[in-house]
Amino acid sequence: MSTLNPGGPTKPRAPRLQRLGRIVLGGAVVGVSYLGWRMYRNRYPVEQLPYDPTKKTLVLLGTGWGSTTVLKNLDTTQFNVVVVSPRNYFLFTPLLPSCTVGTIENRSIMEPVRQLMRHKAREVTFYEAECTGIDPETKQLTLKRHTNADVLQSIRERETTAPEDIVKLDYDYLIVGVGGEVNSFNIPGVEEHACFLKEMPDARKIRRKLMDSIERASFSDISEEERDRLLHMVVVGGGPTGIEYAGELHDFLTDDLSQWYPNLSQRVRITLVEALPSVLQAFDKKLIDYTQSTFSENKISILTRTMVKAVQEKEIVVQNADGSRSEVPYGVLVWATGIKTQPLVDRIRERFPLDQSDRRGLLVDEFLRVKGSRDIWALGDCALSGYAPLAQVASQQGKWLARTLNKAARKADEAPGADLFTLVEKSARSFKYSSQGSLAYIGSDKAIADLPLFNRNITAGGLTTFWFWKSAYLNELFSLRNSTLVASDWVKRFLFGRDISRE
């Protein structure tokens, strides 16, 4: 006896796996198309509006985190924008320690400023120069043409400048984001013998010094004492930069030098010197303990409560926790401590003596306006806004200031003659920093994270955090180009190891 189907024959439904496959394929097509469009647009940007003499001139000093973020988010149809900096690129500083040992290629974390400028609605002018003076009365800047290929020499040596290298630049509004310089704390010998870790030339110098020390240690006619000195790498500073460099250096020695210098790799020592009671003071206590435990496993010595008193050509003089002094020989010395103000910041302070009384930087109000001025903003490491000198702070300040200036400029268009400096207060709430957490790589494919979540902090460390650290930095890079280059560098290192050539 057959059973009748009153509804008639039913159509077979497509299997769920087949539907899922179509969804995945469609998503892949959309994703590839979007990436293709972004790459095309990056290569062939649209036409820009020309200079408009009816618009005000806004000058951005610096190409660091703060200034570059302003440039990226600023509506250039409202201003004639001029960027002044002794370097024509933005540097993604969190990955700079990776460049010192060849984990990442140098240019992978350098974003050309002109590439950012070319994608703005209105043409942006760039001058590769150093601002050496300011006259707030006439609204005029004094620029020194940047003629030396090494940025560090231009900034630090302050050589005599020929008259033809001096340029005057008028402005209506000024944003100061020149950052800071490495602080040597006036310790004798630091400037002459230590390697800093703040700019790309610093990373190149460390790489050369590191390979020079290792190659010299391979000669058979030197004493064992001299060999041990050459193979002793000292890092001063227990903040994230010093910790990450020590971790990267350990990986380089373990993964690469052990293969190509088997007779030397076991003799290489790494010592980290910190004046405070512990490293990574801004992190949770559990993460500090985890880092110190990892360093101990990796045979990285940590000397806390140890102050450097002098730096000599082949050794540093330190004051130990018990007050005694000792000499620590080294082959490479990396100085990764705090920062101090740029000379330009001091010159700006001198122009407003009644309102600028702090030698650590430019005092700003809650709207990032330089106190005492009527047309100058400051952000990043050179501004005293009540927050720590972090890249994260400068980036948030840049986004906030760009959005606020965009709104204020539109209000100024609606009310001709209105003061933009005053309209800033009416355009947005005052700047408030929101911490997104802290990350640090500690070597051996391990990282630590201290992240805020629902009014509490989440702490983590280990291999999983290491992959989170990688993904977070890939997401933070300024362009698809840089993200692609950094990811490919990581793949190349995994497949072929690091390049051990000197340059």
The Cα 136–Cα 171 span in angstroms is 9
The answer to whether 437 and 276 have CB atoms below 8 angstroms apart is no
Mean pLDDT over each residue of the chain, to the nearest integer: 90
Tokens of 19: 């539907």
The Cα 68–Cα 179 span in angstroms is 12
pLDDT digits (tens, 9 = 90+) for 311-359: 999 999 999 989 999 999 999 999 999 899 999 999 999 999 999 999 9
Kind plus residue range of the DSSP H or E element containing 99:
helix 96-99
Residues in Cβ contact with 161 at an 8 Å cutoff, skipping those fewer than 6 apart: 132, 144
151 confidence band (pLDDT: 50, 70, 90): very low
- What is the arithmetic mean of pLDDT over 189-211? 95
Tokens of 211: 């390979």
The answer to whether 287 and 461 have CB atoms below 8 angstroms apart is yes
| Of 174-188, 246-260, 379-393, 412-426, minimum mean pLDDT range | 412-426
Asked whether residue 463 carries a pLDDT value surpassing 60, the answer given is yes
Q: Residue 300: beta bridge partners?
A: 270
Q: What pLDDT shows up at residue 156?
A: 43
The Cα 412–Cα 172 span in angstroms is 14
The answer to whether 236 and 334 have CB atoms below 8 angstroms apart is yes
Ramachandran region, residue 374 (left: φ > 0; alpha: ψ -120 to 50; beta: rest): alpha
Q: What pLDDT shows up at residue 427?
A: 85
* Residue 387 phi, psi dihedral angles, 5° rounding: -120, 160
The Cα 158–Cα 181 span in angstroms is 14
Portion of the chain with pLDDT greater than 70, in percent: 91
CB count within 10 Å of CB 90 equals: 26
Provide the CA 71 distance to its chain's centre, in angstroms. 16
Asked whether residue 163 carries a pLDDT value surpassing 70, the answer given is no
- What is the arithmetic mean of pLDDT over 143-170? 64
The answer to whether 294 and 465 have CB atoms below 8 angstroms apart is no
Kind plus residue range of the DSSP H or E element containing 328:
strand 325-329
CB count within 10 Å of CB 455 equals: 5
**In this structure, what DSSP letter does residue 369 have?**
B
Question: What's the predicted TM-score (pTM) here?
Answer: 0.88
- The letter for the amino acid at 22 is R
